[in-house]
Structure 1
Amino acid sequence: MELSALNPNPLGAPASSGCSTASLLSTLRSYHHIQVDKHFHRQEKTPAIPASLEPSMPIQQSICVGIELEFMVALQIPNSDAVTGETRWTCPTTPEAFLGLVMGDYKDIEPSCIHKVCELIASSGVSVSCSFTPPSPSSPAQIPGTTILPLTDNSGDIRAWNNESVSGPVSKTDFWFIVPERHITRDCVSKSGMTPSNKYDWYGTELNSPILTRPEEFSQGLPTLRKCLAAVQGDMVVGLNSGCGLHLHVNEAGSMQLETALRLASLVWLLEDSLLYPLCHPFRSTSPYSARISVESRIAMERSEPTVYGEGAALVEALGEVMRQLHWRKKVDRGLLGAMKRLWSENSLISLGIALRKFDEGSLHTTTRCALVVSKYDTIEFRYPESTFDVDFIAGWADLVRQLYAVAMRPQVEFHQIFCRVYELVTRDQMPGWSAMLGAIGFNGDVSRWQRHINEYGDTLRNLDKQGILPNIGQ
């Protein structure tokens, strides 16, 4: 997700939290009525909390989102009969292509799958593209209705649908963009129980959105994504498994300040178990693709306590004072102060990104990583939720990551108040439910988008590897 970078300045603001602990705790005491789920931590009881803890705050229109959605395309098993009752497209294969699939050589399969996904999305009127592959028997040089365009970074060419008016260099983020996701394909071949149906072989793909900035995309619940997924699901046999993730990139106007990234990571550290994982399938909290930064990142695993300055010192001071006031609570762990010191000692987006990686990841860029990532595009990437074609659920997550980013952009005093308020809530013996935590960050949206999806975790989505083929929505 290429959102252009802005070089951040080192943090050096005076250490003044501006967060009166006495007034903060007085405010916190007024929220004793927060709803607590005593039975099932994913199910919210009655409508919503009586009132938002934090008055709802507007999300700046400059906060943009990019979406990556992984899914699988069905491949015909060589020399097998057509599946009865299924009229949607599946990728034709040969015994030679099947051998390549098993051996990790996808050249006879990849172009057909990628081009067909693009073709279906283009049929809905959306501009879509993929990387241009050299002509071959499975990848013809000429495809009707497409144009070949150079990339602005001179990294190659792309094949674009519905973009006849542009001839000069373009960016991938100008389009909806389809890429292969080979780790999903490998898992389907090498691991048992990972395929939606044994009537087909499967190929992993990923749909990348352009940078979403238009207000109507968010106010109308991601209508273009809805159109793309409906076109694919209605005319192609597709599926999902536990290896398919939904990743959301967020920053402001294509850039990100170090201060904002540090604040966001600090807030997410507190919210992982109280908000983010409860809004995902239970498997995601144990998935190697979405590990906790609060448990498995380098920052979490180390024990040093460096001296911090500026806002980092102010935040640690405010947090420490709240901890002293709440010292009798069993969940108050002063080790968090050390983690915040290590976090706020990072002086660049690059070093912060490395510090948030899994402790054993090293310098390699792998798919096995923590669920909060500072990407090479200077975005914060949220990798918590599972992949889904439920656009209401995805739209809820898009609103949530924008809200979290908006909180991280608030004035220092206000951010510290929200941070300390969240800390007070998550250290209660009976932690409030996730809708209350949404209120704590000033989120004022439709929680039913999540609740409908979460309800399926006890039913059709109990096992992400047993979802089956996604139904034909055109029937």
Structure 2
Amino acid sequence: MSSQEITLGWELELIVHLQPGEEPGLALEAHKLRDLALTIAQQAPNLPIAAHCIHRPSASCIICDDAPAEHRLPHVRVVNPATPIRRPSGPIEDLYYFVKREHLNVPTDDDGARLAHGYEITSPILSHAELSAGLPQTRQILGAIRSSGLTISAHTECGLHVHVGVKSGMTLNIAKKAATLVMLLELPLLKKFASPERAERRYWFIPISTKSEFICCADRVHDEVTDAIASPELRQHVPDLSKQKPAEWNNNEPNRLHLALNEIWLTDSIWRLSKGFFSYEGQKASLVLCTRERNGDSASEPSRGAPDSLEGTPSTLEFRYPPMSFDIDFVKCWAEIGCKIVELATRDVAAFRQVATDLLKELERNDASQWERLLKVLDLNHQVPFWRQQLARFEDDEPIRFLDDDGFLVPERK
């Protein structure tokens, strides 16, 4: 399957602050959402922009009360319309750069009233061709945010989430292969690129290789992967893991990682695979399998005993590792990493096994330049210069670019 079969989307979390003289609290939350959506739409008039609002279908609110009737949809104000404005079924968010509320850690006054509000901007479904072109639409959105005139900030609890799908539909086999690559790459590569500050936050960086239900299941049920419990598919796709030595990439517990991978490959449905990625505390891990019905709506748990109906649906793999960024190069590199992992997962058994073999070979060589060689195996060698610069910024305590000394977004220079 070619890379052109890959689709993607992103979520950007940010904070908009009150201005001097504005009363703290929730009253201005809708006003700030409206301001954010309108200024982005004004600066990116060629892009479809919409905003989420909460009111009865027959009513309106501050976000949408001046919009034409055809632009006031249930819970949505369309600012710049897509073509068509909406589809007969499926989520409208798939068509728009969509602005909505998001619960984030924001500053408060002495009485606990909010001095800022959290928001999320999500992209429509984007093609791999858009990524190959350097995400020009995303560049417009980031430029519009920086030129909005609003007082905006972000911290490393604010996330950049990248969704990756397959045009022909997600399959259990593709999801298992992608998860396998993530298990190999989480600690030596994805953690490194997520910034030390975010990686140290317990509830915002949750690797499936150390904290997922699959790891817990492995701990409870078995001591090692024996012939009696071994997944034939895992053996087909990945070289023998029983001889791996303790190292950073396997959290110094190679047998535990082997057991968890075996549990992944024994899983018999997309739904159960998605549940296995959750942490043992019931939280979303840093890799999420977002299950969707065929029309794109979020899927609900199948009835007990019912066959899995999620094969071939527009379900996506969500990479939640990095912090929010206003830097298009940072966003693009993370999008490329997520898309490359899924694209490799669409390859046949022999091609996938070769990639896994090459990664394991490099993981055995634990030195300072290991991450560069891992990128080369992924055919992402062109990212090396960027990550050298970005890792230096991390060392200089700059996890998010374009913020001033007080943590506020610096306007883009014209």
Q: TM-score, normalised by structure 2?
A: 0.80
Select which of 387, 404, 424 maps to 2:341.
404
> Take 1:472 and 1:386, find their aligned partners in 2: how far apart are those partners?
19
What is the identity, as a one-letter code, of the residue corresponding to 1:114?
Answer: L
Offset, 1:270: 1.0
Q: How does 1:9-24 map to 2 (within 5 A)?
A: none
Correspondence for 2:193: 279
> Take 2:384 and 2:393, find their aligned partners in 1: how far apart are those partners?
15
> Take 1:190 and 1:348, find their aligned partners in 2: how far apart are those partners?
48
**Residues 1:261 and 2:175 aligned together:** yes
Q: How does 1:332-371 map to 2 (within 5 A)?
A: 333-361=254-282, 368-371=283-286
Sequence identity, in percent?
24
> Take 2:143 and 2:254, find their aligned partners in 1: how far apart are those partners?
47
Correspondence for 1:111: 30
What is the identity, as a one-letter code, of the residue corresponding to 1:398?
Answer: A
Offset, 1:335: 3.0
Cα distance 1:342–1:380, how it changes in 2: closer, same or farther (>3 A)? same
> Take 1:457 and 1:337, find their aligned partners in 2: how far apart are those partners?
31
SS in 2 for 1:122: helix
Cα distance 1:298–1:467, how it changes in 2: closer, same or farther (>3 A)? farther
Select which of 74, 95, 111 maps to 1:174.
95
Quick check: which has more Rg, 1 or 2? Answer: 1
Select which of 193, 207, 210 maps to 1:295.
210
**Residues 1:121 and 2:34 aligned together:** no
What is the identity, as a one-letter code, of the residue corresponding to 1:67?
Answer: W
What is the identity, as a one-letter code, of the residue corresponding to 2:54?
Answer: T
Select which of 47, 51, 55 maps to 1:130.
51
What is the identity, as a one-letter code, of the residue corresponding to 1:353?
Answer: S
* RMSD after superposition: 3.0
Contact persistence 1:133–1:139 (CA under 8 A)? no
Contact persistence 1:353–1:375 (CA under 8 A)? yes
Select which of 214, 220, 227 maps to 2:140.
227
Correspondence for 1:210: 124
Higher alpha-carbon deviation: 221-230 or 162-171: 162-171
Offset, 1:426: 1.6
Correspondence for 2:305: none
Offset, 1:332: 7.8
SS in 2 for 1:338: helix
Higher alpha-carbon deviation: 328-337 or 236-245: 328-337
Contact persistence 2:7–2:125 (CA under 8 A)? yes
Select which of 199, 222, 234 maps to 1:312.
234
Cα distance 1:426–1:127, how it changes in 2: closer, same or farther (>3 A)? same
> Take 1:122 and 1:207, find their aligned partners in 2: how far apart are those partners?
12
Offset, 1:61: 0.8
Q: How does 1:82-97 map to 2 (within 5 A)?
A: 93-94=22-23
Contact persistence 2:11–2:162 (CA under 8 A)? yes
SS in 2 for 1:182: coil
Q: Which has the higher contact order (CA 8 A, sep 6+)?
A: 1
Contact persistence 1:118–1:129 (CA under 8 A)? yes
SS in 1 for 2:108: helix
**Residues 1:76 and 2:15 aligned together:** no
Offset, 1:164: 7.5
Correspondence for 1:244: 158
What is the identity, as a one-letter code, of the residue corresponding to 2:51?
Answer: C
Contact persistence 1:245–1:383 (CA under 8 A)? yes
Correspondence for 1:416: 353
Gaps of 5+ in 1: 1-57, 80-92, 151-155, 192-199, 362-367
Contact persistence 1:357–1:369 (CA under 8 A)? yes
- Between Structure 1 and Structure 2, how many residues are aligned? 368
SS in 2 for 1:273: helix
> Take 1:343 and 1:164, find their aligned partners in 2: how far apart are those partners?
39
Offset, 1:227: 0.7
> Take 2:393 and 2:247, find their aligned partners in 1: how far apart are those partners?
34
Contact persistence 1:248–1:398 (CA under 8 A)? yes
> Take 1:59 and 1:116, find their aligned partners in 2: how far apart are those partners?
41
Offset, 1:230: 1.0
> Take 1:416 and 1:190, find their aligned partners in 2: how far apart are those partners?
55
Cα distance 1:472–1:431, how it changes in 2: closer, same or farther (>3 A)? closer
- CA deviations 1:18-48 (Å, max 9, x no partner) are xxxxxxxxxxxxxxxxxxxxxxxxxxxxxxx
Cα distance 1:213–1:190, how it changes in 2: closer, same or farther (>3 A)? farther
Correspondence for 2:312: none
Correspondence for 1:364: none
Contact persistence 2:207–2:286 (CA under 8 A)? yes
SS in 1 for 2:41: helix
Cα distance 1:337–1:460, how it changes in 2: closer, same or farther (>3 A)? closer
Offset, 1:161: 1.6
Contact persistence 1:289–1:369 (CA under 8 A)? no
Gaps of 5+ in 2: 223-227, 293-314
> Take 2:152 and 2:253, find their aligned partners in 1: how far apart are those partners?
46
Offset, 1:255: 2.3
